[in-house]
Amino acid sequence: VAAPVTTAVLTTMAAFLPLMLLPGIIGEFMRLVPFVVTVALVISLVEAFWVLPSHILHAKISFKNPSWSERARIRGLRKLRRIYTRILVKVMRVPALVIILAIGMFFASLASAMLGQINPSLMQDPKVSKWLVKTNFFAADPLRLFYVSIEMENGTPLEITLENVKQLQAQIRDTVAPEQLRSVVAYAGQMFTETAPFQGAHFGQVMVSLPPRAAGLHSVDEVIEGVREVVDNFAGPKKLYFIRLSGGPPVAKAISVKVRGDDVDEIRAGVAAVQTILEQSEWATDIANDDSPGLK
């Protein structure tokens, strides 16, 4: 029974291991479930192959007088073997055809999995997409919204901040196709972040909400990249950056650098140096610092 037991355990592992591919903070929590299940299944194989046989020998179980359930199992297994043997004989009479069909099914499965990646437009055609394998097993953007945060110079009146926020709102609305947007809301006086809200007349934010994910709609990241040039070229605010939300509890940014010291001017010079290094890199985006000296 080594082969069927091992196969049964491996199929269960194959059902749980994809949970480790969940994105975001939810994936960090859910990753423990498939890990623990997989470890337990591996240990069960050790139990089945090396521990259980010794238990059976120690129990001195006799198979000379089988019970009614054992006899029923033997009869059912015998019938199953006869059915399998008949099918196998028919298959073996046409080996060339069977091999061609197997190879054809293999290449058809590869095409079903790869065509959607090679030509993403095929996934938008309902007649074709039903034959293609969906590679996005878990939605990476369960919260289809993002924020564009604006921070003006300290002491900026609320009216000026609101005017800048409204201008950015109009530019974003003009840049993104109407069918890709659900709503674009602008407000001033407060700003939500990944960890805590900020309040003040120089804070503002534009919340962009997208429709539920469907065929033909862009992901949140694609919409952000589409409006990034507009945001980067928007003049006026001292700080302007995106906030991308994901499922789960609030978390900090992927990269967080803390600059500590005794002199405020030296600390701010160090922050500026770190920010310059990140801005000159080709991989860092949405760089911001939480230096809030207060209202003047």
Q: What is the pLDDT of residue 136?
A: 61
| Residue 203 identity (one-letter amino acid) | F
Distance CA 229, CA 242 (A): 12
Residue pair 184/208 in contact by the 8 Å Cβ criterion: yes
Q: What is the pLDDT of residue 139?
A: 53
CA angle 252–168–237, rounded 5-degree value = 65
Structure tokens at 43: 């240990």
Average confidence (pLDDT) per 10 residues, the chain, 296 residues = 90 89 74 91 89 76 78 91 94 93 93 80 76 65 81 89 92 90 91 81 91 80 88 84 69 77 87 85 76 56
